[in-house]
């Protein structure tokens, strides 16, 4: 059985600069271990402070691909179907450090950056922050809304 597809946002009603989705994700050390198991990325800088510190980091950091995956999820939810996201790219700019007791919060804001009327695609620009620090640069998803 396949998942039902949700209705796409109305392309003609979109405006450049419009915020279309927002989310906040809480990460814990448990989150990182689960992600390591799912992804197969068992680099110890993602779950052991001593190893992270031995390579010059202040502590354990979240996997970049985990941060990237979290960032696009609000866009997928807004689009109503992951197949509508036809391109997604980011530049990793800063790490997300995950405190052993407090964890970390990653916030995402998705805003319409450009509209292509002929292709009926929306470029969604993502602002992804850990605290006040932007952790992904040039984070953009192309969404086809035909």
Q: Is the pLDDT of residue 3 over 80?
A: no
Tens digits of residue pLDDT in 44-61: 999 999 999 999 999 999
Residue 91 lies in a domain: yes
Residue 51, in any domain of the structure: no
- Whether 42 is in a domain gets the answer no
Residue 122 included in any domain: yes
Please compute the mean of the pLDDT values over residues 121-130 and round it to a whole number. 98
Residue tagged 């354990």 (tokens): 60
What global pTM score does this model have?
0.92
CA distance 30 to 39: 14
pLDDT at site 7: 86
- Structural domains counted in the chain: 1
The CATH number that applies at residue 124 is: 3.10.129.10
Is the residue at 106 inside a domain?
yes
Confirm if 139 and 75 have CB atoms less than 8 A apart: no
Asked if pLDDT for residue 4 goes beyond 80, the answer is no
DSSP strands (E only) in the chain: 19-27, 85-92, 104-116, 121-130, 133-144
Residue 20 exposure: Cα atoms within 13 Å on the Cβ side: 30
The pLDDT, as a whole number, for residue 1 is 43
Check whether 80 has a pLDDT greater than 60: yes
Give residue 95's pLDDT.
Answer: 97
User: Would you say residue 130 lies in a domain?
Assistant: yes
Rounded-to-integer distance, Cα 104 and Cα 26, Å:
6
**Residue 34 belongs to a domain:** no
Question: What domain range includes position 129?
Answer: 15-27+62-144
């Amino acid at each position: 059985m396949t998942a039902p597809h949700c209705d796409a946002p109305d392309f003609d009603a979109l405006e450049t600069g419009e915020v279309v989705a927002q989310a906040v994700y809480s990460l814990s050390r448990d989150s990182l271990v689960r992600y390591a198991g799912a992804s197969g990325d068992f680099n110890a800088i993602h779950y052991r402070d001593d190893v992270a510190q031995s390579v010059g980091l202040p502590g354990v950091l979240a996997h970049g691909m985990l941060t990237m995956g979290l960032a696009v999820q609000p866009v997928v939810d807004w689009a109503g179907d992951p197949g509508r996201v036809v391109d997604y790219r980011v530049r990793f700019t800063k790490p997300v450090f995950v405190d052993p007791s407090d964890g970390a919060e990653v916030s995402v804001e998705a805003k319409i950056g450009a509209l292509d009327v002929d292709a009926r695609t929306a470029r969604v620009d993502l602002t992804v922050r850990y605290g006040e620090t932007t952790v992904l640069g040039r984070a953009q998803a192309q969404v086809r809304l035909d």
